[in-house]
Structure 1
């Protein structure tokens, strides 16, 4: 296959001339067979005319009023709440462990027994420290099953409250 080299024109850049020779060498020169035809390439859309070739200018950024592109937003962690289980004289210990396993995510049998025993001996036990929405869901689940539970704000904003209880994720 021979490459067709077009003569250099003073009005055409070197890049356009190289592009023309590549196109001429890769496209078929004759129509052979039904349905085959020569493709036409518009050089104005493929290569930019003038100095710099096909390099685009840097786009301008439009600043919106009240919005700074230089500042990054910092997301704050949601405030954490403790779910507290209170001792009562009505429910058996086995039932309390069963409800804790049913309502609270990520609770093992050992966690449920320890929390039940702490509530029995101290009168109250911290079950979990989590965001407010989860704490309300857990508290409501415990109350529906007949246990006495409350939520209270944790001393810190995020993380474990230091009670040894498991943390909900």
Structure 2
């Protein structure tokens, strides 16, 4: 039969107002203030003196990229422009509303300037981003009745 959990671990767990059940070298579940969230931990016995809580290993599920990989792919992919085309069917206020709804972080001032540039010059660059993001934005703009296209951006972001 194995020895009981050392009092130092039990005391630490009580102080943290959490419950940890473990015996030397066995896996356990860490349940914090939120009972629906469980984090697996490993407690290893270090002789008679007590145990050590190991940090949970970060697991990346299949098909999911780490944040570093996503940022790296964005930097490496060539930039694309989303271009808004002027049309005589949509009111100016509507174009501004759609731009603010579709493009993340779009302010009223920027949306008005883009709409005005497209109205005067026939075209206006809405955003420069990765190809996949540009395709999504273009599809969303078209889905809201605006004419748009994408093109490779020369000279970087």
TM class by shorter chain equals 0.5 to 0.7
Residue of structure 1 in register with 2:50 after alignment: none
| 2:81 aligned with 1:82 | yes
Count of residue correspondences: 87
Instruction: Tell me the alpha carbon deviations over residues 62-98 of structure 1, each in whole angstroms, 9 at most, x when there is no partner.
Output: xxxxxxxxxxxx9762100000000001000000000
Structure with higher strand content:
2
- The higher-RCO structure (CA 8 Å, 6+ apart) is 1
Alignment of 1:25-40 (within 5 A): none
Instruction: Tell me the alpha carbon deviations over residues 134-169 of structure 1, each in whole angstroms, 9 at most, x when there is no partner.
Output: 00000000000000000000102x42xxxxxxxxxx
Residue of structure 1 in register with 2:124 after alignment: 125
Alignment of 1:72-151 (within 5 A): 77-151=76-150
The structure with more radius of gyration: 1
> d(CA) in 2 for partners of 1:128 and 1:77?
18
- Long gaps (5+) in structure 2: 1-46, 48-71
Instruction: Tell me the alpha carbon deviations over residues 87-143 of structure 1, each in whole angstroms, 9 at most, x when there is no partner.
Output: 001000000000000000111000000000000000000011100010000000000
TM-score (norm 1): 0.49
Alignment of 1:17-56 (within 5 A): none
TM-score (norm 2): 0.52
4+ residue segments displaced more than 6 Å:
none
Instruction: Tell me the alpha carbon deviations over residues 34-82 of structure 1, each in whole angstroms, 9 at most, x when there is no partner.
Output: xxxxx9xxxxxxxxxxxxxxxxxxxxxxxxxxxxxxxxxx976210000
Residue of structure 2 in register with 1:13 after alignment: none
> d(CA) in 1 for partners of 2:153 and 2:111?
21
Residue of structure 2 in register with 1:153 after alignment: 152
Q: Secondary structure at the match of 1:90?
A: coil
